[in-house]
Amino acid sequence: SQHQCTHLAAEVHVGCTPAQPLFEMSRMAAPLVLVCSLTPALAGMGALRGGSGVTWDYQGFHIGDWPARGFPLCAGKPAGPEYPHNEWQAPIDIPMIVTDRDNDSLILTTVDGGCERVDMESNEHTWEASWEDGNCSNFVATWHGRNYTLQQLHFHFESENMLGGHHQDMEIHLVHKSADGASLVIGAFLEHTEHVEQPHKTFWENGFLHQLFFHGFLGQPDSQQMLAPAWRLNPYSGLFSEGTEFYSFLGSLTTPPCTPNLEWVVLRQSIPIATKDVFTFEQYLKKAPQPDSYGMVDRPVQPLNGRPIKVGSIGKVVG
C-alpha cells in the first residue's frame, strides 16, 4: 500500500511514485575496492541516518534529552500532517507472535554483479559502509511498488530492535532510498553461537560482511584496498535468500531527527556470529566516540502505539 508522503529531513522528500521490479540484469563480476575515510558522511546520507548540525549523542538516552536538543520528533508525539505516524517511532520490541501476513513480497536485485567500491566512513557516531558515496546504485530492493537503492550499511551493538522482550547481540541496518526520496531499512539480527546449524551463512563464511567487519570497521583505514571479486562480496546474496521471512512495519529514523513514516523490514531469523567476533566489535565500540556509558550504540525501543506489524517474505533474490 502507498503511505502518505512526508519529509525526510530538509534534503529529502518522500513522494508516492510506483516503480516496477528489476528482473533482467547482467551478472558480470568486478573487483571491489574498499575505501576508508575519517571524514563524516555527506549531507544526503546524514539525512537518512539522522545527521544534523545540532549535536547529539547516545549518552542523551539516559536523560531523554533529544527533544530538548532541538529534535522534537524524537518525543514520539503526534506532529500533524507533515509528519504522519510520528507516534510510530523506531526501534520497537517485536512481539513473538505475529499472525498478520503482508501480501507483497520483497525483491532484491543486484545489477551488473554489484559495486566496484564501497566507502568506509565515520559519521562521528559509528562507522558505515556507503555505496552512495562510492557512486554505485547497483543494489535495488523492490517493496510495495517502489524501487529502493541501497545507500549504506551500519551495525548496532546491542540490537536496536528487540524480539519478544529481548535484545540480540548485534543488528545490521541496510538503508535504502528511492528516487522520490522514500526510505526502506532492512534489518538483520546477529546472535552469538559456537555451533552453527542454521541455513544462513555464518558471519565468517559471508565474505562481504567479514571484509567490512575486520578490514573496514576494525582495521586501520587504508585507501584503495583491493578485495575479492564483487560476486563474493554481495550484501544481498550473503544475507538473504528466497523465502526468508521478515517482520514489516512503519517506523522512523533511530537517530535525530527521528523522522517518521519509514518502511522497516527485519529478518525473523538471526545470522549466527562467533562469540569472539561479538566481543571484538564490542571492544571497538567502547572505544568509539559516541557510545553510551554502557558501550552501546542503540536507541531504546519505542512504544508500539497500535501500529500494525506483519510477516512477509523475500520473493526473489536476482543477480
pLDDT for res 60: 57
How far, in Å, CA of 236 to CA of 99, rounded?
Answer: 26
What would the grid cell of residue 217 be? Answer: 570497521
245-252 and 310-318 as β-strands: parallel, antiparallel, unpaired?
antiparallel
What's the N-to-C CA distance of the chain in angstroms?
A: 26
What distance lies between CA 169 and its chain's CA centroid?
Answer: 16
Q: Are 242 and 61 in contact (CB under 8 A)?
A: no
- The average confidence (pLDDT) of the chain is 74
pLDDT, residue 117, reads 75
Instruction: Report the C-alpha gap between 221 and 163 in whole angstroms.
Output: 34
Q: What is the pLDDT, as a whole number, of residue 291? A: 47
pLDDT at res. 276: 76
- Distance in angstroms (rounded) separating the CA atoms of residues 90 and 61: 14
pLDDT, tens only, 134-173? 788 999 999 999 999 999 988 888 899 999 999 998 899 9
Task: Identify which of 201, 164, 160, 194 has the alpha carbon closest to the alpha carbon of residue 279.
Answer: 194
Contacting residues for 144 by C-beta, under 8 A, at least 6 apart:
1, 2, 104, 263
Q: How many residues does this entry show for the chain?
A: 319
Q: What pLDDT was estimated at residue 125? A: 57
Q: What is the pLDDT of residue 248?
A: 98
Half-sphere exposure of residue 198: CA atoms within 13 angstroms, side-chain side: 20
Q: What is the pTM of this model?
A: 0.78
Distance separating alpha carbons of residues 150 and 247, to the nearest angstrom: 19
For residue 158, the tally of other CB atoms under 10 A from its CB is 21
DSSP state of 212: I
* Rounded Cα–Cα distance for residues 126 and 85 (Å): 27
Query: DSSP readout, 47-81?
Result: HHHT--SS---GGGGGTT-TGGGT-GGGG-----T
Q: What angle do CA 111, 266, 198 make, to 5 degrees?
A: 85
* Spans of the chain, pLDDT less than 70: 1-64, 120-127, 194-233, 284-296
CB contact at 8 A, 50 and 253: yes
Q: For position 127, what pLDDT does the model report? A: 65
**CA 44/CA 59 separation, integer angstroms:** 25
